[in-house]
Amino acid sequence: MKKCKICGKPAEIFLYSQNLALCRKDFVKNFEKRVERTIKKFKMATRYEKILVAVSGGKDSLALLHLLNKLGYRVCGYYVDLGIGDYSKKSLEKVCKFSEEKKIEIKIENLKDEFGMGVGEISKIVKNPTCSVCGMIKRYMFNRMAQNFDAIATGHNLDDEVATLFGNVLNWQTEYLSRQTPVLDGRESLKKKIKPFAFVSEYETATYAFIEGIDYIVDECPHSKGAKSIFYKGIVNDIENQMKGTKIRFLSGFLKNREVFSSPGSKTELKPCKKCGYLTSSEICQFCRLKERINTIKGGNHGRNFLENQ
């Protein structure tokens, strides 16, 4: 039986990429230490700053909120109910249970209060892929809720970051590449965004959540079926299995070279949205335009009928 490299007791967790065997207690210490190192290295936040942690009810975001709170950061959770049937119901339950058990405040907002419907219906009406509509809405709402905070933290882990990077590189999305970083500085009303889990794997966040007794929703969002990110994760895992350490190397190597993708002239000019005041590249921001569009459709007969049939 393998022994914990730190204390010599029986090991339960094996981190193959680091060739490290650990007991539960030392894994938790090691995990928290590495996340804190990431926070410091990328100057994500200090213990004086207020962090809004976006939670979905899944393992990564709840584990992140728990970890930051445990390490003494000033945190508050934020959950957006996207109105995705049973999935949203279950995840809201997990979020509420977590909040009560851990005594951590989690603010909750509902897409139905904003648009009168969930993200699935919205994306059908505007005929755009659900995941891109959902992403845009969440980015906006996270930022809006974070106005009195110093940073927005999300639970993106190493596997998420590497899958995104992989897709962006395969398609040479240089604009996205120039912005893919564990810490994206804010300006004016656009809040700083941080990803403290960017260098810990999905296996590690799941293990941490399990050991720390976090009850989370295991189901994937039903809209993510067939998502490219899931396909890319599989490919990256195939490579990692053959060549240990590829994920970390790929992401770290990229971050050392990321600046080559941001040419000085490429920064889009941003100005306040004429409706809501948030920074946008057009006259009216995407969120306000979406709201206008949904309201127009709801006002018309066809739209109303369509919605009533849902």
Q: Can you give the binding site for a copy of itself, defined by CB under 8 A?
A: 169-172, 174, 228, 231, 235, 238-239, 242-243, 246, 249-250, 253-254, 256-257, 260-261, 263
Residue 112: CB minimum distance to a copy of itself, A: 35
Q: Give the integer Cα–Cα distance in Å for 221 and 224.
A: 5
Residue 158: CB minimum distance to a copy of itself, A: 15
Q: Which is nearer to a copy of itself, 197 or 254 (CB)?
A: 254
In angstroms, the Cα distances linking 158 to 64, 68, 189, 261 are 13, 18, 28, 21
Q: Which is nearer to a copy of itself, 145 or 163 (CB)?
A: 163
Q: Which is nearer to a copy of itself, 59 or 247 (CB)?
A: 247
31: its two tokens: 């995990």
Residue 246: CB minimum distance to a copy of itself, A: 6
Residue 221: CB minimum distance to a copy of itself, A: 21
Q: Give the integer Cα–Cα distance in Å for 59 and 57.
A: 7
Residue 134: CB minimum distance to a copy of itself, A: 22
Contact assessment for residue 177 and residue 136, using Cβ atoms and an 8 Å cutoff: no
Contact assessment for residue 246 and residue 234, using Cβ atoms and an 8 Å cutoff: no
Q: Which is nearer to a copy of itself, 14 or 231 (CB)?
A: 231
Q: Give the integer Cα–Cα distance in Å for 232 and 14.
A: 24
Residue 40: CB minimum distance to a copy of itself, A: 24
Q: Specify the 3-state DSSP secondary structure of 22.
A: strand
Q: Which is nearer to a copy of itself, 174 or 286 (CB)?
A: 174
Q: What are the φ/ψ torsions at residue 33 (nearest 5 degrees)?
A: -65, -45
Q: Which is nearer to a copy of itself, 142 or 250 (CB)?
A: 250
DSSP state of 268: P
Cα 178–Cα 181–Cα 183 angle in degrees, nearest 5: 125
Residue 256: CB minimum distance to a copy of itself, A: 7
Q: Which residue, 161, 146, 165, 126, is CA-closest to 76? A: 146
Q: Which is nearer to a copy of itself, 263 or 281 (CB)?
A: 263
Q: Give the integer Cα–Cα distance in Å for 294 and 244.
A: 48
